[in-house]
Amino acid sequence: MIEVAEALGRSRTTVNRWIRHGLPTLSPDRSPLILGAELRDWLKTQRDARKHPCALFELYCCHCHLPRAVASGSGRILQRSLKTVAVQGRCAVCNTRMKMTRSRSDLSELERHFGSMKPELPALDVCPNPGADSLIRPLPILPPDQAPKGQEDEQKEC
């Protein structure tokens, strides 16, 4: 039991609570022995029981602890990258802010479901070298002797 607590970075009290809640042991009458495979399977079962998968048009509400529909008129779609969009809105039950990242392949279905929601594309920087987080590829920074005439100013960092 002590080894389990140390290996998982948990306290002995936590491991004792797991045993009381059904973690299988080999010797319940004395110091309990716990098999690693049984511990792994039991922890996975406990984790899966707490999960609440959301349907395509639902977001997880951290206040209600359940997947909820987005309140009418509160949702919007933001493009996050070339592959993902973020869906944001308010919970229809408690009005808490909710958000979730979805695949860009779901965009047409999300737009059909939410109607007026359209993706808001981020504004592109005017800077010729916007960095790795941008949706456009940064221009290469050339050494001064290889830079074309009149573009020395554009090669500087923003």
pLDDT in tens, 73-106: 888 888 788 888 888 889 999 999 998 888 888 8
Q: Does one domain contain both 71 and 113?
A: yes
Residue 65 lies in a domain: yes
User: How does pLDDT run across 7-35, given as a tens digit for each residue?
Assistant: 999 999 999 999 999 999 987 677 789 99
Q: Does one domain contain both 37 and 13?
A: yes
Domain of residue 75, residue span: 58-120
Residue 149 lies in a domain: no
Instruction: Check residue 26 and give its pLDDT.
Output: 87
State how many domains the chain has: 2
**Cα–Cα distance measured from residue 127 to residue 148, given in angstroms and rounded to the nearest whole number:** 18
Assess contact for 104 and 114: CB atoms under 8 A: no
Residue 158 lies in a domain: no
Considering only residues 75 and 123, tell me which one the structure prediction assigns the higher pLDDT: 75
Three-class SS of the chain? CHHHHHHHCCCHHHHHHHHHCCCCCCCCCCCCCCCHHHHHHHHHHHHHHHCCCCCCCEEEECCCCEEEEECCCCCEEEECCCCEEEEEEEECCCCCEEEEEEEHHHHHHHHHHHCCCCEECCCCCCCCCCCCCCCCCCCCCCCCCCCCCCCCHHHCCC
User: Which residue's entry shows tokens 């830079």?
Assistant: 147
Share of the chain above pLDDT 90, in %: 22
Instruction: Check residue 38 and give its pLDDT.
Output: 92
Q: Does one domain contain both 62 and 107?
A: yes
**29-36 contacts at long range (C-beta below 8 A, 24 or more positions apart):** 31/1, 32/1, 34/1, 34/4
Residue 146 lies in a domain: no
Q: Does one domain contain both 81 and 44?
A: no
> How much is the average pLDDT of 46-57?
84
